[in-house]
């Protein structure tokens, strides 16, 4: 594949061409030349007014394979990822069976071979995600698992979490915590506050998340371990992590894109498409999350892509499953949240790879072309026809969104939109 991208503005802090308007020539998947007024016998794309950045990387993505392929399989999931500008996915182990041994890790890596989107399976902390005994983490690490989490099941046993933190230090892996104290959250479905009271629904207190963050920060401090918190959602959570970073703890965190722009007021119509975990919080919480991104407290934005068949979402709110599909809308929601393009690239591309200790990608001559071309001001309508996922559980389908992915390029493969 030979491709010439003309007049693109590079957004890549690691590149010597950062914030410069340049032409980029790509030959056989490698950036062969960057400069001005380049001519070549190649397919040419006019990128005037567009931004070229390293491909996005998602730290929290659910794809049904293994075992839940009716929700999403690797083919449809990676297609949705490419349409959202993602060239790398860290797959949560919320599958059946869960990714709790090297067999599942190796299966996913083999299935995803030769794809535009690179796949990085995350292994479980506990066997079968039951929260009792540690899984075969070292074997999974040797087979390609970069980090360990029980996915959307928080580890309630503090002793198990402590042992996992200590164990992974021996081979340089990382533990990812989904922070929720289930004894406090109980069986509630929405954020505890004014809206839950008006709806007559039992709420999940912010304390359920914050208490678990405080616990795991103490464990990380005591063990000297690194810890990553995924999908934080409250103002106090941001404050706790901000203070931990000031103390020098090795802590990172991310936020789901939809928690930046949606609040619990969206639940007034009992629409199960807005049922997510952690729940949609208040505007004050959303403002704190955006402030945390801007001051560096929150390191990354994730899609928390969670596909479901219609029979799991188009039902009464109480029994509907949690989650929305988010790969194709993450960039648009970051734009809607008012984040500048440089910060979006940092949170969707640069930092996620740093967190998982994955080799950085850059817009530089001689590098493999792992790129996304973005229109930060262009609008697009997210329709069912444009949806690349196998599932349709997104409240944004049928809406006009700002911030468009024009092209995604990786592994000598290209997708245009």
Tokens representing residue 4 in the block: 């010439």
Measured between alpha carbons, how far is 366 from 356 in angstroms, rounded to an integer? 24
Query: Using an 8 Å Cβ cutoff, are 266 and 395 in contact?
Result: yes
pTM of the model as a whole: 0.97
Name the one residue in this structure whose structure tokens are 């371990």: 225
What's the token pair of residue 192? 């505890």
| Alpha-carbon dihedral 162, 168, 172, 174, rounded to 10 degrees | -60
Task: Give the Å distances, CA to CA, from 82 to 75, 224, 239.
Answer: 11, 37, 34
Report residue 64: phi and psi, to 5°: -60, -30
Task: Give me the domains of the chain, ranges plus CATH numbers.
Answer: 2-51+365-416 (2.30.40.10), 55-355 (3.20.20.140)
- Phi, psi (rounded to 5 degrees) for 162: -60, -45
Q: Encode the chain (417 residues) as per-residue pLDDT tens digits.
A: 899 999 999 999 999 999 999 999 999 999 999 999 898 989 999 999 999 999 999 999 999 999 999 999 999 999 999 999 999 999 999 999 999 999 999 999 999 999 999 999 999 999 999 999 999 999 999 999 999 999 999 999 999 999 999 999 999 999 999 999 999 999 999 999 999 999 999 999 999 999 999 999 999 999 999 999 999 999 999 999 999 999 999 999 999 999 999 999 999 999 999 999 999 999 999 999 999 999 999 999 999 999 999 999 999 999 999 999 999 999 999 999 999 999 999 999 999 999 999 999 999 999 999 999 999 999 999 999 999 999 999 999 999 999 999 999 999 999 999
**What are 54's strand-pairing partners?**
371
């Amino acid at each position: 594949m030979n491709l010439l991208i003309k007049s693109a503005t590079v957004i890549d802090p690691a590149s010597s061409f950062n914030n410069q308007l340049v032409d980029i020539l790509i030959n056989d998947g490698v950036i062969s030349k960057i400069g001005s007024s380049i001519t070549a016998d190649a397919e040419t794309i006019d990128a005037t007014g567009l931004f070229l950045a390293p491909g996005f990387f998602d730290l929290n993505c659910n794809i049904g394979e293994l075992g839940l392929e009716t929700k999403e399989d690797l083919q449809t999931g990676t297609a949705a990822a490419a349409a959202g500008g993602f060239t790398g996915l860290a797959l949560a182990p919320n599958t059946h069976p869960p990714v709790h041994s090297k067999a599942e890790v190796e299966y996913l890596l083999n299935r995803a071979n030769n794809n535009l989107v690179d796949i990085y399976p995350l292994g479980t902390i506990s066997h079968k995600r039951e929260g009792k005994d540690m899984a075969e983490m070292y074997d999974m690490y040797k087979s390609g698992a970069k980090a360990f989490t029980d996915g959307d099941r928080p580890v309630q046993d503090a002793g198990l979490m402590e042992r996992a933190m200590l164990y992974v230090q021996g081979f340089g892996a990382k533990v990812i915590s989904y922070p929720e104290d289930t004894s406090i959250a109980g069986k509630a479905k929405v954020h505890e506050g004014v809206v839950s009271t008006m709806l007559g629904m039992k709420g999940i207190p912010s304390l359920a998340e914050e208490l678990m963050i405080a616990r795991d920060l103490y464990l990380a401090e005591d063990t000297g371990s690194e810890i990553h918190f995924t999908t934080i959602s409250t103002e106090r959570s941001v404050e706790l992590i901000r203070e931990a970073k000031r103390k020098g703890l090795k802590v990172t965190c991310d936020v789901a894109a939809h928690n930046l722009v949606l609040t619990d007021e969206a639940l007034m119509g009992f629409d199960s498409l807005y049922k997510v975990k952690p729940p949609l919080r208040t505007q004050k919480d959303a403002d704190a999350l955006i402030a945390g991104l801007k001051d560096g407290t929150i390191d990354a934005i994730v899609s928390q892509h969670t596909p479901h068949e219609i029979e799991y979402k188009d039902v009464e709110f109480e029994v509907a499953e949690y989650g929305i599909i988010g790969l194709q809308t993450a960039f648009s929601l970051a734009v809607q949240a008012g984040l500048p393009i440089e910060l979006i690239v940092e949170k969707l591309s640069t930092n996620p790879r740093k967190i998982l200790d994955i080799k950085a990608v850059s817009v530089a001559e001689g590098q493999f072309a792992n790129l996304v071309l973005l229109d930060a001001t262009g609008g697009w309508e997210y329709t069912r026809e444009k949806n690349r996922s196998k599932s349709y559980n997104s409240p944004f389908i049928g809406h006009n969104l700002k911030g468009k992915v024009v092209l995604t390029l990786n592994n000598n493969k290209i997708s245009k939109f």
